[in-house]
Amino acid sequence: MNHVYSWREAPKAQFAVIGDPVDHSLSPQMHNAAYAALGLPFEYVAIQVPPGEVSQALDHLRELEYRGTNVTVPHKEEALSWCKHVDGFCEQVQAVNTIDVRRRAGVNTDANGFLATLGDMTPSSVLLMGAGGSAKSIARALVRDGWTVRIWNRTHEKAVDLARLAGAAVTDEADPTGAALILNTTSASLQGDDLPVLWERTVKDAIAYDLAYGDSPFLKVAAEHGLRTMNGLPMLVEQGALALEWWTGESAPRAVMAKALEKGPEKPTGTKEQG
């Protein structure tokens, strides 16, 4: 676990991740390893910010001359309202996850960070589970890139809203029939819960992908059914690399960042919203 600062007691540093909770985040160890490798005199810390206090916290970090912050749950929407400059994608999904504090500018690296981990996969069919902030950006990006997306969520109305936003379809069951990619963006893995996936309907060579960056019941059951599995560590590296490059103009040392995460967490963790 990280040492976590409350925002009112934030130390002198240059970069941070803000969230609630945030003690699980692997971003500090990853970013600090990257800055050391690049010879940059920067420090990255974890800062706890309760809901409703994001604007105050970011104002305070700006006074402390922080350069940038990453934003994790549940603050991606609240942080958007603090920013004065955001790109079109942030406006579409109504969320930011990376902020240039000095310029009050925000971007969202969820989609590009995720898509980079798919490599040369040919767009096909995906069953996406969840409807939180990460799901919004990823669903929209997948549809944009030619994927056929079906959305399942515990709260059906949220799935309907996301499908309307992204141009996707809704499914009443977590049915992976025909899906080359079965993607979990829910908080189930963080809570040690399984999901009601109809695993017997999976196709050969399908990939089960969990945005949590540890082992999870979802990935365990998927492996038992012969599926290939991926967790969220590669996405974390890509998101972090994109943020570092945007903040500093330096080329991110992705191999160093991945190396810093090799030990990983002891249980599933990540930056996902409740679906």
For CA atoms 161, 165, 170, 174, the dihedral sign is negative
Residue 87's closest CA among 70, 99, 101?
99
> Is residue 89 within 8 Å of 132, Cβ to Cβ?
no
Active-site entry in 76, 136, 263, 272? 76
Identify the bridge partners of residue 197 per DSSP, sorted by sequence position. Answer: 174
- In whole angstroms, how far apart are CA 40 and each of 30, 50, 80, 102, 237? 14, 30, 28, 18, 18
Angle between helices 133-144 and 110-117 (to 10 degrees): 60
Distance of CA 217 to the CA centre of its chain: 19
Q: Which of 164, 199, 184 is nearest to 235 (CA)?
A: 184
The verdict on whether 76 is a catalytic residue reads yes
H helix or E strand, kind and range, residue 58: helix 54-63
Residues classed as catalytic: 76
